[in-house]
């Protein structure tokens, strides 16, 4: 029997270039399949812009200007009196929340939601249609909001754009009147370069145009600091627009000048709710569920 000899380098098999390329393709395909296998609900939403970061057109969200005034709500500060989370609870969302499981939101005790529809003159939120429809089928009372950019165009122009792209209203027991989100400018001077008189006229033009288009009074979302500074303590909307006040870190909100009381209160920007990945704004309605439905249906 001949003695055993180890194979010489000349006889050692090496992967052929074609085989190595094929292995690379297979590996890439497997990685892609594993990525697609992750459910959309598990995907983390992108991080929204924070204080000090320039907010490009179309990327603003309810509370982005409030963060400049009041800071990011940690939700865990020991010296902050917890907000009242009893009663009729709601959230507000935009594309920054990513995928939302609205059935889980409803199961978590959330009764209403406001969803970003438009911004300025031409920007439409990419997730508005999906959120608005799915919230409806999950049984929430929901409405749309418009992020104001008073330095872009007139109030009438933006109200028409909003009413034509999600901000309309119908008496179906599940549609709230639209919201004018007007707060600290996230991309420049606090009052968008307008004088107090110009700002009052802008808001009033938005209000009258929206009411002409929908038959409803607009809800105004703002802060006491912004409103008092940029409208000059204006009382012209006292009996015209329900107030949605944003005030974090407190047990009760400060009311802007010229409003009798608050209808909605955004009490935190870092709430947690089942069905939403990460932080979400949480809100409280100032009344019972029957009163919320009366607001939705425009009844006494």
Active-site residue identified among 111, 125, 183, 217: 183
Return the closest-CA partner of residue 294 out of 173, 139, 178: 173
Rounded Cα–Cα distance for residues 286 and 300 (Å): 15
Rounded Cα–Cα distance for residues 174 and 171 (Å): 8
Instruction: Write down the residue that tokens 């008496």 correspond to.
Output: 171
Decide if 285 contacts 245 (C-beta within 8 A). Answer: no
**Cα angle 130-283-246, degrees, rounded to a multiple of 5:** 110
Residue 125 annotated as catalytic: no
Residue 111 annotated as catalytic: no
Active-site residue identified among 69, 73, 92, 125: 92
Residue 181 annotated as catalytic: yes
Rounded Cα–Cα distance for residues 93 and 62 (Å): 8
Rounded Cα–Cα distance for residues 218 and 212 (Å): 11
Return the closest-CA partner of residue 148 out of 70, 73, 205, 224: 205
**Number of Cβ within a 10 Å radius of residue 147:** 30
Active-site residue identified among 73, 111, 125, 181: 181
Decide if 227 contacts 256 (C-beta within 8 A). Answer: yes
- Integer distance in angstroms from the first to the last C-alpha of the chain? 107
Rounded Cα–Cα distance for residues 265 and 243 (Å): 8
Active site residues: 92, 181, 183
């Amino acid at each position: 029997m001949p003695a055993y000899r180890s194979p010489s380098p000349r006889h050692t098999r090496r992967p052929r270039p074609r085989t190595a390329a094929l292995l690379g393709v297979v590996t890439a395909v497997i990685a892609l399949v594993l990525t697609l296998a992750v459910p959309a609900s598990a995907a983390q939403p992108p991080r929204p812009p924070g204080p000090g970061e320039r907010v490009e057109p179309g990327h603003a969200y309810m509370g982005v200007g409030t963060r400049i005034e009041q800071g990011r709500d940690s939700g865990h500060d020991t010296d902050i009196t917890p907000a009242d989370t009893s009663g009729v609870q709601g959230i507000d969302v935009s594309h920054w929340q990513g995928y939302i499981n609205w059935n889980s939101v409803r199961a978590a005790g959330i009764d209403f939601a406001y969803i970003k529809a438009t911004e300025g003159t031409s920007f439409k939120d990419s997730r508005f249609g999906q959120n608005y429809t799915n919230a409806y089928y999950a049984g929430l009372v929901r409405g749309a909001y418009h992020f104001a950019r008073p330095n872009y165009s007139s109030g009438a122009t933006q109200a028409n754009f909003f009413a034509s792209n999600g901000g309309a209203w119908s008496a179906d027991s599940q549609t709230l009147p639209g919201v004018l989100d007007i707060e600290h400018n996230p991309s420049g001077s606090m009052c968008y370069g307008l004088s107090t008189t110009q700002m009052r006229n802008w808001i009033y033009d938005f209000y009258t145009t929206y009411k002409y288009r929908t038959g409803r009074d607009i809800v105004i979302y703002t802060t006491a600091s912004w409103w008092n500074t940029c409208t000059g303590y204006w009382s012209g909307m006292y009996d015209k627009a329900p107030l949605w006040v944003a005030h974090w870190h407190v047990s009760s909100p400060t009311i802007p000048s010229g409003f009798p009381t608050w209808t909605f209160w955004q009490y935190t920007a870092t709430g947690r709710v089942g069905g939403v990945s990460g932080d979400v704004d949480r809100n409280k309605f100032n009344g019972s569920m029957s009163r919320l439905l009366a607001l939705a249906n425009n009844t006494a």
